[in-house]
Amino acid sequence: MSDTHALTVTFVRDTMLPPAPPPVGERGAVKWMRENLFSTPLNIALTVVGLLAVYALVTAALPWWLNSVWNAGSLSECRQIVAASAGEGATGACWAMIRERWHQFLFGFYPPSQYWRPVLALGLLAAALAPVLFAGQKRNLTIVLGSVAVYLLVTLYLAATPAGAFALSIAVILGMIGLAQVQPGRLLWFTLLYPALCFWLLWGGSIWSPVVVMAGFALLYGVFRLASPVIGLAPGAAAGILVAVLWWLYLDIPTARALQQALPFGLQSVNSDQFGGFLLAIVIGVTGITFSLPIGILLALGRQSDMLIVKTLSVGFIEFIRGVPLITLLFTASLLLQYFLPPGTTFDIILRVIILVTFFAAAYLAEVIRGGLAALPRGQYEAADALGLDYWRAQRLIILPQALKVSIPAIVSTFIGLFKDTTLVAFVGLMDPLKGVTQIVRADINWKGIYWEPYIFVGAIFFIICFGMSRYSMYLEQKLKTDHR
């Protein structure tokens, strides 16, 4: 067959032709556009509408951005510069205001010479979170602590930190990196110490007050350890709590005062009314979420509990807090809390706001954690029971570690929501970055009548922080996924 064929045909190609390029309509940008922009009439219409919208936005906003003014002393000066450079009637952004007042948007009225303290506290926050998130993972711990060290080197230098504090903080973080190589588990101690350290860094004053408060916790633990073998777990814990409470009530302040007289050491104290801007938002947000986590866990367990009264109270609390707007809770902090406390007690409005924000976050976290608990297969509970673990051991060793891990992304989004909601504190007279600081800036005669610039500046910072956190939590979700489905 093939022979005859070979005879009748004069030429037989024995190699393949090189593949011809696809037709113009099927390749490169044209193909991409056909497939992704103009595949159906509906898509064509959508693309056109989208392009028109983008065009309208750009033509409306671009001149304003291009005519930005960075050097001016007042809004009217800005307007003059814009009019001079781009002609009468042109509009332009006046970023000079941000240039002059950016520190107020970030720190409020925190003394400028002390800016290194919040900066340092923020860096150490990351260092304190790392041992929790990456327990025992040397590589990740080193990466995080290393970035914190770099961050501190740069920002502390920019914030003109006193040399001693600079050296000490770098030494601490380098020490932590070293410890991470040898005994990463020990880093948790830093996490436990961090709240007191952060408080001291931000508010200043004598170092002995936070030390003495922490000593109360040490006392609690010591009494518990000593007493529990003798009188049992629960009475031991009660005795520990009692001793600690007595310590805080009666010995705390005198001890701190005596120590301060003997060994005076402290930072310049900063009043909480000087807190403002993003510093205030972060302080309220982070404290709220930290303290609400244990309360949220207890509420979630209470809601899951078989005990009727405990369950009813938990459900009542959660539903009440979730049923009213945060703003009413803030007004409660500012208007009502004083009614519920013994006559004559007053304390800081920031502290009152933090308490109510903590309740608010706790109710939301309780629901998040309840979701995590519900996601656990029934077998886990049964397995814990079969091992003979009592309730708290089962929760601590089996249930909560898994439930919390499942809940991390939702906890992060609760935090993002809370962080955004901290802007509402402006309505009780605190200086949040969005409304409080902006209002103060606008009360200055030079900047009266400036509207877009502060909103855009503050909105951009919020976006960067929240977007970054949500992306990081998605990454974390992938990383923490240990089931092999």
Partner 1 sequence: MAMATDVPKDSFRLSMLIYDTRYRSYTIQIVVLILFAMAVAWLLNNTVQNLAVRGKQFDYSFLWQRAGYDIGQQLIPYTNDSTHFRALLVGLLNTLVVAFWGCIFATILGVIVGVLRLSNNWLIGRLMTIYVEIFRNVPLLLWILLSYVILSETTPQPRDFRVTDEMAAAGEEPAASMMLFDTVAVTNRGTNIPAPLFDRGLGTLDLGFMTLNLTFWAILAVIAGSIWVNRRILASARAQQEATGDRPVTWWKSILVLFAPTILLLVALGFHLEIPELRGFNFAGGILVAHSFTALTIALSLYTAAFIAEIVRAGILAISRGQTEAAFALGLRPNRTMSLIILPQALRVIIPPLISQYLNLTKNTSLGIAVSYLDLRGTLGGISLNQTGRELECMLLMMLIYLSISLIISSLMNLYNKSVQLKAR
Partner 2 sequence: MKKTVFFGALAATTLLAGLASAGTLDDVKARGELICGSNTGLTGFGAPDASGNWAGFDVDLCRAIAAAVLGDATKVKFVPTTGETRFTALQSGEVDVLIRNSTWTATRDSELSLDFVAVNYYDGQGFMVKKDLGVSSAKELDGATVCIQTGTTTELNLADFFKQNNISYQPVTVGDDSEAQRQYLAGACDAYTTDASGLAASRATMPDAENHIILPEIISKEPLGPVVRHGDSQWGDVVRWTYYALLIAEEKGVTSANVNEVATSTTDEEVKRLLGVSGDFGAKFGIDNAGFKTAIAAVGNYGEIYARNIGEGTTINLARGLNALWTQGGLQYAPPFR
Residues of this chain that interact with partner 1 (CB under 8 A) are 32, 35-37, 39, 43, 46-47, 50-51, 53-54, 232, 234, 306-310, 313, 319-320, 322-328, 331-332, 335-336, 338-343, 416, 420-421, 423-424, 426-427, 434-435, 451-452, 455, 458-459, 462-463, 466-467, 470
In a 3-state reduction of DSSP, which class is residue 114? helix
16: DSSP letter:
P
Rounded Cα distance between 136 and 183, Å, is 8
- Answer with the entry of partner 1, partner 2, none that 448 interacts with (C-beta below 5 to 8 A by kind): partner 2
Give the DSSP H/E element, type plus range, for residue 295.
helix 277-304
- Answer with the entry of partner 1, partner 2, none that 251 interacts with (C-beta below 5 to 8 A by kind): none
Residue 259 or 461: the one with the smaller Cβ distance to partner 1 is 461
- Answer with the entry of partner 1, partner 2, none that 230 interacts with (C-beta below 5 to 8 A by kind): none
- Answer with the entry of partner 2, partner 1, none that 37 interacts with (C-beta below 5 to 8 A by kind): partner 1
Instruction: Considering only CA atoms, give the Rg of the chain.
Output: 30
- Answer with the entry of partner 1, partner 2, none that 346 interacts with (C-beta below 5 to 8 A by kind): partner 2
Question: Are the C-beta atoms of residues 434 and 455 closer than 8 Å to each other?
Answer: yes
DSSP codes of every residue in 302-368: HHH-S-HHHHHHHHHHHHHHHHS-HHHHHHIIIIIHHHHS-TT----HHHHHHHHHHHHHHHHHHHH
First to last CA, the chain: 57
- Answer with the entry of partner 1, partner 2, none that 46 interacts with (C-beta below 5 to 8 A by kind): partner 1
- Answer with the entry of partner 2, partner 1, none that 306 interacts with (C-beta below 5 to 8 A by kind): partner 1
Query: C-beta of 207: minimal distance to partner 1 in Å?
Result: 34
Residue 172 or 456: the one with the smaller Cβ distance to partner 1 is 456
State the residue for tokens 């040490």: 218
Query: C-beta of 336: minimal distance to partner 1 in Å?
Result: 5
Query: C-beta of 351: minimal distance to partner 1 in Å?
Result: 18
DSSP codes of every residue in 85-97: HH-TT----BTHH
Residue 180 or 350: the one with the smaller Cβ distance to partner 2 is 350
Backbone φ and ψ of 23, nearest 5°: -55, 155
Q: How many residues appear in the chain?
A: 485
Which residues here bind partner 2, judged by CB under 8 A? 76, 79, 100-101, 104, 108-109, 112, 238-239, 242, 245-246, 249, 271, 273-274, 334-335, 338, 341-346, 349, 427-429, 431, 436, 439-440, 442-445, 448-449, 451
Query: C-beta of 229: minimal distance to partner 2 in Å?
Result: 19
DSSP codes of every residue in 36-53: HTSSSHHHHHHHHHHHHH
Question: Are the C-beta atoms of residues 295 and 357 closer than 8 Å to each other?
Answer: no
Question: Are the C-beta atoms of residues 406 and 375 closer than 8 Å to each other?
Answer: yes
Give the DSSP H/E element, type plus range, for residue 205.
strand 205-206
Query: C-beta of 335: minimal distance to partner 2 in Å?
Result: 5
Query: C-beta of 472: minimal distance to partner 2 in Å?
Result: 34
Query: C-beta of 200: minimal distance to partner 2 in Å?
Result: 21
Residue 308 or 386: the one with the smaller Cβ distance to partner 1 is 308
Exposed/middle/buried for residue 450 (C-beta within 10 Å: 0-12, 13-18, 19+): buried
Residue 362 or 428: the one with the smaller Cβ distance to partner 2 is 428
- Answer with the entry of partner 2, partner 1, none that 442 interacts with (C-beta below 5 to 8 A by kind): partner 2
Query: C-beta of 20: minimal distance to partner 1 in Å?
Result: 27
